[in-house]
Structure 1
Amino acid sequence: MPSQCLFSTGAGFRKSLQCCLWSPSDSRMISYLSVALLSLCCLASSYPVPYSYSSAVGSGRGNSFTIQGGKVTAIRVWERPGSYITSLQLCYDNIWSAKIGPEGGTLHELELFKNERIVQISGKHNSYIYELIFVTSGNRFLRVGQPSGNSFNFYASDKLAGLRMLSGRFNGLGITLLGAHWGEVPKSRWSLERR
């Protein structure tokens, strides 16, 4: 039941108001509400990061590939100088995947720092993938290839997601098709400390 509150105004006279004050029996209700609110906050902050797929671009000729593992900790990209991307390789928790694509070309590499993830891949494509730009959550990037052909831009549907897998096609000369798979990035067993 509400109780009477008396307070003094600036004019110095007293006014009576009905106030809602909690009685000792209502303190249990506050405790229950606090626990419920805290539980709701914990559930909201630990929601699963949704999976998303960036549709593949390129001509799609050749053998299919999938590169997948744990947390991406480094990237290697080979290019035919002045031309297209020839090969790809991802490192998951300090273990390199198989190299996708033919031997040869100029190697470019990016090692990720601790708690860093790939959040965007963009570039150019035509009959081959001509340019790749990998962007990290730390605002670093690896740019390889030539800006020739049609533009593409891959990114996750959730700001907490990161690159989990690459898929596509390659032939005896290079990468002809590329798609990106995004999702929750697992905790790394290994990654570089910021130098």
Structure 2
Amino acid sequence: MLQFLFLTVVAASVCRGQDQSVTASFSGLYGGTVGDEFSQTSYEIVGPITAVKIWTGVATLHGIQVSYGNVWSNLNGAAWGTMVEMYLEPNENIVQVQGSYAYWVVTSLTFITSLGRTFVFGNQSGSTFLALPLDQGAVLRAVSGRAGTYLYAIGFHWGAYPTKAMPCKA
């Protein structure tokens, strides 16, 4: 299941100081169709992604929680198994995600950062995917997907790195 949705960053983004030359895009959903839908896109305005927590099992990922600026999102999925964390350095961003899913559940996620660091969660099995932004300068801004007892599916929202808010001009 691979879908791409490309949206052009509109002029309103200039009010937030974002680079208009970077196109917002979505890659995913990767995984199954069961579970409850979730979206963390409302956290994008808080700040850039600064950390990720993932709960893992022997063969599956159970839950995900992301820090935007200094605010943690809700936990999507379940907090059982082993919790593993990754923390980004100042001005470090996630620029690529690789992963795998089997049947109806996500089995692994690998985050690659702008500093060349790699964070691996879970064990690769099943179908694999590579999630990239449409534009070279885009970074991971938010995640969405389907979750319940497990992390059933995940998608990635890419866009310009969020900069300090600037007042809008009329």
Q: TM-score range by the shorter chain?
A: 0.7 to 0.9
Root-mean-square deviation (CA), in Å? 1.5
Describe how 1:60-139 pairs up with structure 2 within 5 A: 60-68=33-41, 69=43, 70-80=47-57, 82-126=58-102, 127-139=104-116
- Cα distance in 2 between the residues matched to 1:145 and 1:52: 26
Q: Residue in 2 aligned with 1:3?
A: none
Amino acid at match of 1:59: G
Give me the TM-score of the superposition, normalised by structure 2: 0.79
Aligned partner of 1:157 among 134, 140, 156: 134
Q: Secondary structure at the match of 1:156?
A: coil
Q: Which has the higher strand share?
A: 2
Between Structure 1 and Structure 2, which shows a larger proportion of helix residues? 1
C-alpha contact 1:120 1:136 (8 A) present in aligned 2:
yes
Tell me how far apart the structure 2 counterparts of residues 108 and 171 of structure 1 sit (CA, whole Å): 18
2:151 to 157, 166, 175: 175
Larger Rg computed on CA atoms: 1
- Give the counterpart letter for 2:148 in structure 1: N
Which residues of 2 match residues 37-76 of structure 1 at below 5 A?
A: 47-68=20-41, 69=43, 70-76=47-53
1:153 maps to amino acid: L
Shift of 1:183: 0.2
The runs of at least 4 aligned residues of structure 1 exceeding 2 Å deviation read none
Instruction: Give the number of the structure with larger relative contact order, counting CA–CA contacts within 8 Å between residues 6 or more apart.
Output: 2
CA deviations over 1:116-162 (Å, ceiling 9, x no partner)? 11101111102200000011100111101111100001011111110
d(CA) in 2 for partners of 1:61, 1:180: 18
User: How far does residue 188 in structure 1 lie from its aligned partner after superposition?
Assistant: 6.8
CA contact (8 A) 2:76 2:148 kept: no
Partner Cα separation in structure 2 for residue 185 and residue 105 of structure 1: 32
Is the Cα contact below 8 Å between 1:60 and 1:168 reproduced in 2?
no
Instruction: Please say if residues 33 and 146 of structure 2, whose CA atoms lie closer than 8 Å, have aligned partners that are also in contact.
Output: yes
Supply the distance in 2 between the matched residues of 1:72 and 1:146 (Cα, whole angstroms). 23
Write the distance in 2 (CA, Å) between the matches of 1:179 and 1:87: 14
Q: For structure 1, which runs of at least 5 residues remain unmatched after alignment?
A: 1-45, 190-195
Task: Give the unaligned 5+ runs of structure 2.
Answer: 1-18, 166-170
The 3 A distance-change label for structure 1 pair 125 and 175 is same
Question: Does 1:141 find its partner at 2:130?
Answer: no
How many residue pairs were aligned?
142
In structure 1, C-alpha distance between the alignment counterparts of 2:20 and 2:140, rounded to whole Å = 18
